[in-house]
Amino acid sequence: MAEFIYTLHWIYFIVMICGAFYLFLLSRDPKGVPKYEYVIAIFIPCWSGAAYLSIALGQGFVEQQDQVIYFARYLDWVVTTPLLLLALALTAMFFQPKKDIALISSLIGADVVMILTGLIADFSNGTILYIWYGIGVIALWIILYIIWYPLRKMAFRGSQELGKHYQRTALYLTAFWISYPTVWLLGPSALGLTQNGTEVLAFILLPIFSKVGFSILDLNGLRKLNFSS
């Protein structure tokens, strides 16, 4: 099982590097999309790949009471998930010259709370575990509120086409982000309804789609939007 888990993380690392290279190729012809959007998109898989590489190399996790805690995931998430939300917020404000820094800060702040409380929950047991998990879920709901209310309104104020593109990317990201706490809750860290191998596979597939997949969807949509405008 250990070799299987290491192999999965090696595959993930390779996929992330390939994704970063594809996004770099897109940046060579930005089609009116600001360069900083490409920088954000490229950095996400680079950092995520590096974090998971530590697991592939036999690091990035600790064993505690017959449970494996992959703390490298949280080192990944605490950096990449704020950047994903920043990218989504910048999409909503694409035609807005002055970005709403307060709203972006609120979004990122709630996200950091969600990730770090998840880490604490992973090192907790019993009732305390679910207290920290519950705080993380509350932070997730705050994130979803910001995504689907103020940011969505901003996107449609920019243009109808931008609003539709924002809705697609927001729905895509939301679906995967709801899956993360669900997989965690069902896994060995909490209810134990799934095995470690199943959880590891889920946390390999989910970030591939929610990181590289999201960036490809978002940037290509913005490139078409800008090209047709």
**What is the reported pLDDT for 1?**
65
Q: What is the three-state SS of 141-202?
A: HHHHHHHHHHHHHHHHHHCHHHHHHHHHHHHHHHHHHHHHHHHHHHCCCCCCCCCHHHHHHH
Distance CA 70, CA 54 (A): 10
Q: What pLDDT sits at residue 66? A: 77
Contact 2, 197 (CB under 8 A): no
Which position has the token pair 């800008």?
226
Residue 227's pLDDT is: 45
Q: What pLDDT is stored for residue 225 in this prediction?
A: 87
The structure's pTM equals 0.95
Residue pair 48/208 in contact (Cβ under 8 Å)? The answer is: no
> 33 vs 15, 151, 154, 156, 165, CA distance in Å?
24, 19, 18, 18, 14
Q: Residues 210, 173: contact at Cβ < 8 Å? A: yes
- pLDDT of amino acid 49: 98
CA distance 32 to 186: 43
Which structural domains are found in the chain, ordered by start? 2-228 (1.20.1070.10)
Query: If we measure between CA atoms, which residue out of 5, 15, 14, 1 comes closest to residue 55?
Result: 5
- Both tokens of 69, joined, read 């805690």
Token pair 């969600």 is found at: 114
The per-residue pLDDT string of the chain (229 residues; one tens digit each, 9 = 90 and over) reads 688 899 999 999 999 999 999 999 999 999 999 999 999 999 999 999 999 999 999 999 998 877 889 999 999 999 999 999 999 999 999 999 999 999 999 999 999 999 999 999 999 999 999 999 999 999 999 999 999 999 999 999 999 999 999 999 999 999 999 999 999 999 988 898 888 889 999 999 999 999 999 999 999 999 998 544 4
pLDDT of residue 229: 41
pLDDT score of 48: 98
For residues 132 and 55, give the distance between their C-alpha atoms in angstroms, rounded to a whole number. 25
pLDDT the model gives residue 228: 44
pLDDT at 226: 58
